[in-house]
């Protein structure tokens, strides 16, 4: 099926990621509340086992994050973030040879993670922190640029856009791509993400997904994350542990609208949902 998107082979350090079909990125949060409190060694082992399970279920990428970006979350220092993330990145690369993405906005964490063998940078602030553009350019790694206004601490306080949300998101991402190119990042290393749940009401999120074709016009691979998010909770009135069916429906719709990487918690069911969606979309493509 031609969906107007490029079908690149993304160069992620030692790994190559084929984006001619949609792939799953498994979420591995390494904030202190994410794993057992049996000490550093046990927590590292828990993280490794969890990543191993996600890879076995079909994840192509493991996204490691040491800063909570939930609405209202408090900031962490680069040192704290590095202490959480670096041992996990190192172990995932060494023991599992995994394609590791690092969910960070900190130039220090980008540099150190790249040196440890990470294959991708996922920045919810789209390289707007001081020094982040230079650190990402120097790493040579692909970067996911996400749309967000404000900071996680205040982003959900009355989000408002003067133009339709899909236009605001497209304009923002276009400006960030221009900043990246000016800093020496290569266009074939960039991915874009509308940032579902970041400075957006439920209505913004629904509209953005419905009109995601607008972002395909930017001609870069699209990554989306909606897994377990409050937009599902609000529409279906479900607590976080009952949001999987809603999340799978959103994943299928996102693939139909051009997403090539889905960032999810529940890897196995998501892989099935997107592969099934993709099979339908491919129907008739060879004939």
Binding positions for ligand 9MG, rule: CB under 6 A: 65, 69, 103, 122, 124, 144, 146, 193, 195-196, 223, 225, 263
Q: Minimum Å distance from CB 279 to ligand 9MG?
A: 25
Strands 120-123 and 143-146 turn out to be parallel
Closest residue to ligand 9MG in the complex (CB):
225
> With respect to ligand 9MG, which residue has the nearer C-beta, 43 or 223?
223
- Residue with structure tokens 């996990």? 88
> With respect to ligand 9MG, which residue has the nearer C-beta, 69 or 277?
69
50 is catalytic: no
Q: Residue 122 in contact with residue 152, Cβ under 8 Å? A: no
The burial class, CB within 10 Å (0-12 / 13-18 / 19+), for 284 is: exposed
CA 241/CA 196 separation, integer angstroms: 19
Q: Minimum Å distance from CB 69 to ligand 9MG?
A: 5
229 is catalytic: yes
Q: Minimum Å distance from CB 145 to ligand 9MG?
A: 9
Q: Minimum Å distance from CB 76 to ligand 9MG?
A: 13
> With respect to ligand 9MG, which residue has the nearer C-beta, 114 or 263?
263
Residue of 229, 243, 257, 260 marked active site: 229
**Closest alpha carbon to 148 in 108, 103, 101, 89:** 103
**Closest alpha carbon to 123 in 7, 115, 131, 271:** 131
Catalytic residues: 229, 263
């Amino acid at each position: 099926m031609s969906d107007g998107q490029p079908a690149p082979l993304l160069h992620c350090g030692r790994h190559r990621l084929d984006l001619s079909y949609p792939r799953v990125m498994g979420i591995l949060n390494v904030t202190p509340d994410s794993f057992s409190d049996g000490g550093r060694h046990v927590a590292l082992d828990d993280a490794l086992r969890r990543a191993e399970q996600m890879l076995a279920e079909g994840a192509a990428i493991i996204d490691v994050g040491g800063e909570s970006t939930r609405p209202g979350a408090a900031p962490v220092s680069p040192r704290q973030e590095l202490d959480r993330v670096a041992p996990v990145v190192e172990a995932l690369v060494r023991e599992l040879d995994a394609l590791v993405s690092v969910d960070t906005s900190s130039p220090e964490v980008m540099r150190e993670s790249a040196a440890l063998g990470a294959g991708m940078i996922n920045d919810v602030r789209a390289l707007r922190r001081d020094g982040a553009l230079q650190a990402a350019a120097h790493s040579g790694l692909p970067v996911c640029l996400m749309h967000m206004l404000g900071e996680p601490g205040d982003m959900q306080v009355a989000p408002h856009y003067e133009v339709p949300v899909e236009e605001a998101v497209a304009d923002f991402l276009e400006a960030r791509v221009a900043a990246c190119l000016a800093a020496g990042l290569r266009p074939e290393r960039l991915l874009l993400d509308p940032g579902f749940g970041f400075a957006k009401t439920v209505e913004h999120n629904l509209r953005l997904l419905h009109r995601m074709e607008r972002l395909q016009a930017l001609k870069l691979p699209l990554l989306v994350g909606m897994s377990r998010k409050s937009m599902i909770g609000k529409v279906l009135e479900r607590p976080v542990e009952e949001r999987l069916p809603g999340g799978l429906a959103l994943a299928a719709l996102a693939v139909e609208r051009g997403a090539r990487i889905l960032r999810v918690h529940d890897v196995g069911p998501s892989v099935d949902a997107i592969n099934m969606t993709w099979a339908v979309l491919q129907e008739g493509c060879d004939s």
